[in-house]
Amino acid sequence: MAMVAGAQTNNSGRTTDEVSFVIEAAGGVECVTGANTNWHTAPVGTALFAGDRLRTHEQSRAAVQLSDRSVIRLNERTALEILPPRRSEKKRFGLSHGALYFFDREKPADIEFDTPLAAGAIRGTEFVLEMTETNSALRVALIDGRVALQSADGEISMDAGQDLYLGAGQPPRKTALLSDNRAIQWALYYPAVLNPADVSLTSSDRVNLKEVL
C-alpha cells in the first residue's frame, strides 16, 4: 500500500503539528527521516514526522509516543512508518512486518493502520498488531475498542476481546481473545538490551564473560 508524506510542512519541509518521538530504545533501533535515504541510529528523543520510518533489529525494542500521547511499542524485527492522517482527527501508521502494541491511557483514540494484507480503522485504547515478515499473515488482537478492517475479501468488523487471524489467500478467522496478558507479554516484559559491540571489553573480560556474551 502506498505510504505518502503529509502536505502541511514548516519551512524545513517537515510537518510540525503531528510530531512523534522515540521514548524508548533498546538494542538496535534505526530510522530514516526527512530527505535522508540511509538508516541511522534512532536514540531516545528522535523526532518522527509523516513519512519517517523506524525499525528494530533482533533482540531490540522501541517505543514511540504519538502527538496525542498515545504509545506504540515495537517488538524486535519490526518496521513502522508514520503516515499522514486521512482525516485531521486520526493518527495513522504503516506496519510492513513485525509486532506492535498500542496503548492510550487517557481516552479512546482514532487510529488507522496500513499493512501489506489489510488496512484498518480502530477506535479504542489497546490492541496488538502483528505482520509476518513474509507478508503472509496478519493478526489483530483487540483488547479494547472497535475495528473495521478492509482486506481483499471485503470488510471485517471486530469488537473488544476478539482475536483475528488473516492469512494470504485464506478466509479470516476470528476467535475470542483468551488472555490479554498473553497477547502483550512481550510488551509487558521489557528488559534492557545490551549490545556487546557497544561495550569496551579487554581480551580477558571477553574470556571471563564468554558464556554471558
Q: Which residue has the cell 502483528?
A: 130
| pLDDT the model gives residue 56 | 97
Residues in the chain where the model's pLDDT stays below 70: 1-17, 89, 188-195, 198, 213
> CA 71 to CA 88: how far, in whole Å?
19
20-208 fold: Jelly Rolls (2.60.120)
**C-alpha cell at position 207:** 574470556
User: What pTM value is reported for the model?
Assistant: 0.79
Indicate the domain borders of the chain. Answer: 20-208
* Positive or negative torsion for Cα 197, 201, 203, 207: negative
| DSSP sequence for 4-70 | ---S---TTS--SSS-EEEEEEESSEEEE-TT--S-EE--TT-EE-TT-EEEE-TT-EEEEE-TTS-
> What pairing do the DSSP bridges indicate for beta strands 53-56 and 47-48?
unpaired
Phi, psi of 93 (to 5 degrees): -150, 165
Sequence-ordered alpha helix ranges (H) in 86-197: 180-183, 185-188
> CA 186 to CA 118: how far, in whole Å?
24
| pLDDT the model gives residue 26 | 92
